[in-house]
Amino acid sequence: MYNAAEFARAHASLGLTTEIADTGVYERTVERFKQRGIALPTFGELADPSTIPAARIAPLAGLDRNEPDSRNLFRVHWFGGLDGSGPHEVPDYIELPPEMTGVEARILLAFGNRFPMIKAHKVQAAYACLVPRLVTGRFDPTVHRAVWPSTGNYARGGIAISRIMDCRGVAVLPEGMSKARFDWLEQWTLDPANDIIRTPGTESNVKEIYDTCNELEKDPEIAIINQFSEFSNHLGHYSITGPALERVYEHATSGDTGARLAAYVSASGSAGTLGAGDYLKDHHGSRIAAVEALECPTLLENGFGDHNIQGIGDKHVPLIHNVMNTDDVIAVSDRSTDALDALFNTAAGKAHLVDRVGLDPSLVDSLKHMGYSSSCNALAAIKLAKERGYGREDVIVTVATDGSELYDAERAEYLAHHHPDGYDSVAAASDFGRELEAGDTAKHLELTEAERRRVFNLGYFTWVEQQGTDFADFTARGHQGFWDGMRHFVADWDELIVEFNERTGTRADD
């Protein structure tokens, strides 16, 4: 039987700690940040940016949100505008109307392409994974090269964070990822020839990424910041994304006493974003639905395969996925997300949505802020609403991790291949009818205790057998006490961040 002491032991063993590991490293990090004048935001400030001192917000007015400037760290939250404005009172979000979804349930989708530097919320995960190391002397920016294994957006986030700390960052990602990701990396890495490592395969080839990282790690100057096993990724989303989405829900339902937050839906890559679901369940009792590609149905049926819903579904169960707290698994085909990308981003598609379906033109215009995994989330939310018979009082919250601007090259290829004579009104009507009106593109599995156990157990082969995770640490994750017991680290790290800023002389009080 596990008890609090056992969980605490597992936390420490899995890297969750507030103890300074190496005072020499800590002092050198302080010195580096002092020289560069870099201040670090706390988790609390990013969760509720209205608490960020005005002295930090004021300089952002004249600073492009996509510049590699450390002050942009204070924009790593959900409350920014596309034009860099903010923090606003509520994150930018849209509500998908019943004419579009075919369901009465209210589906709210928060936009992640407002995040700075990479136009995707994964920069938050990169920050959450690195900052506990910085303030506990476990990463030396003067010596270490930070390696960011991912399918793209997290690696870009990590490179952005590395660059503004003036430290070498290395992106490890599959060669088949989007052109926009590689173009961005070419611009931001200090030494593109060596700092962009392309591993074989596409989206779901994470084992190949781990193999490369295990090789790299033999070098003592390499620090692998692995989002799939770094619990601060989960905690960042629990404590930052969770409250931000709660604000969205409260805003959309203000004055509506009958509303209830029925479910949170999130496609899973590292499973970090799913952590927001744990927060929403703790505070609203909502369900948590994990989404993956039908072409790689790992959670659904231990399956494997390639797909094009970039950023998700990596043929394994991440260590930081709280599987035993997950209620539904939903699979969406990449045929559907490709089709919606065309529908949302072509003249004929938009005309269909406005003229035929009757959607508000400004809503249709904002659908461009949905990348593949975002429309995947929307389709999964619709499926869940249908399966569970949700009505108007039921609210589903989900996210758009990135926008369609990251997939322009892929869309051009898709259209050339599938619509060589042009994407016209017939194609738009057919895509709308098939993917949204009929909307039967997803497979849904309600997780029973036995199904949860199956998914949980599947992780054993990656983590214990393949990556050498301690057996007792692995199994501790099957108990909610393990997860509940780690929540305090956020406040503890925040104290260390405040102290760190004091040491670097960058503290700002209001």
Ligand X SMILES: Cc1ncc(COP(=O)(O)O)c(C=O)c1O
Give the shortest CB-458-to-ligand X separation in angstroms: 17
| Site for ligand X contains 154 (CB under 6 A) | yes
Q: What would the DSSP string read from start to end of 278-298? A: HHHHHHH--EEEEEEETTS-H
Number of Cβ within 10 Å of residue 260's Cβ equals 15
494/136 Cα distance (integer angstroms): 12
- Report residue 289: phi and psi, to 5°: -110, 120
Give the shortest CB-508-to-ligand X separation in angstroms: 30
Sorted by sequence, the CB contacts under 8 Å of residue 418 that are 6+ apart come out as 338, 342
| Site for ligand X contains 124 (CB under 6 A) | no
Give the shortest CB-153-to-ligand X separation in angstroms: 3
Strands 394-400 and 169-174: unpaired
Residue 276 or 359: the one with the smaller Cβ distance to ligand X is 276
| Site for ligand X contains 269 (CB under 6 A) | yes
Angstrom CA distances, 431 to 196, 198, 352, 428, 503, stand at 37, 34, 10, 5, 57
Sorted by sequence, the CB contacts under 8 Å of residue 453 that are 6+ apart come out as 324
- Strand-pairing partners, residue 149, are 172
Q: Which residue is nearest to ligand X (CB)?
A: 311
28/39 Cα distance (integer angstroms): 15
Residue 116 or 311: the one with the smaller Cβ distance to ligand X is 311
Give the shortest CB-299-to-ligand X separation in angstroms: 12
Residue 177 or 427: the one with the smaller Cβ distance to ligand X is 177
| Site for ligand X contains 272 (CB under 6 A) | yes
Choose which of 311, 439, 459, 485 interacts with ligand X (CB under 6 A): 311
What count of Cα atoms within 13 Å lies in the side-chain half-sphere of residue 368? 12
Say whether the peptide bond before residue 49 is cis (omega within 30 degrees of 0).
Answer: no
| Site for ligand X contains 459 (CB under 6 A) | no
Residue 99 or 175: the one with the smaller Cβ distance to ligand X is 175
Considering only residues 416 through 445, tell me which ones interact with ligand X, judged by CB under 6 A: none
| Site for ligand X contains 337 (CB under 6 A) | no
Give the shortest CB-377-to-ligand X separation in angstroms: 8
Angstrom CA distances, 225 to 22, 132, 214, 273, 501, stand at 18, 11, 12, 17, 22
Residue 363-402 contact track with ligand X, rule CB under 6 A, x = bound = --------x-x---------------------------xx
Residue 348 or 376: the one with the smaller Cβ distance to ligand X is 376
Give the shortest CB-402-to-ligand X separation in angstroms: 5
DSSP conformational letter for 435? I
| Site for ligand X contains 262 (CB under 6 A) | no
| Site for ligand X contains 204 (CB under 6 A) | no
Find the part of the chain contacting ligand X (CB under 6 A) among 71-79, 148-156, 167-175, 348-356. Answer: 148-156
The H helix count followed by the E strand count for the chain is 24, 11
Residue 70 or 226: the one with the smaller Cβ distance to ligand X is 226
Residue 89 or 413: the one with the smaller Cβ distance to ligand X is 413
| Site for ligand X contains 271 (CB under 6 A) | yes
Contact 206, 154 (CB under 8 A): no
| Site for ligand X contains 267 (CB under 6 A) | yes
Q: How many residues bind ligand X (CB under 6 A)?
A: 21
| Site for ligand X contains 268 (CB under 6 A) | yes
| Site for ligand X contains 241 (CB under 6 A) | no
* Helix, strand, coil fractions of the chain, as percent rounded to 5: 50, 10, 35
> Which spans in 227-297 are helix H?
231-236, 242-252, 275-284
16: left (phi over 0), alpha (psi -120 to 50) or beta: beta
| Site for ligand X contains 297 (CB under 6 A) | no
| Site for ligand X contains 153 (CB under 6 A) | yes
| Site for ligand X contains 86 (CB under 6 A) | no
Give the shortest CB-310-to-ligand X separation in angstroms: 6
Binding site for ligand X (CB under 6 A): 122, 125, 150-154, 267-273, 310-312, 371, 373, 401-402
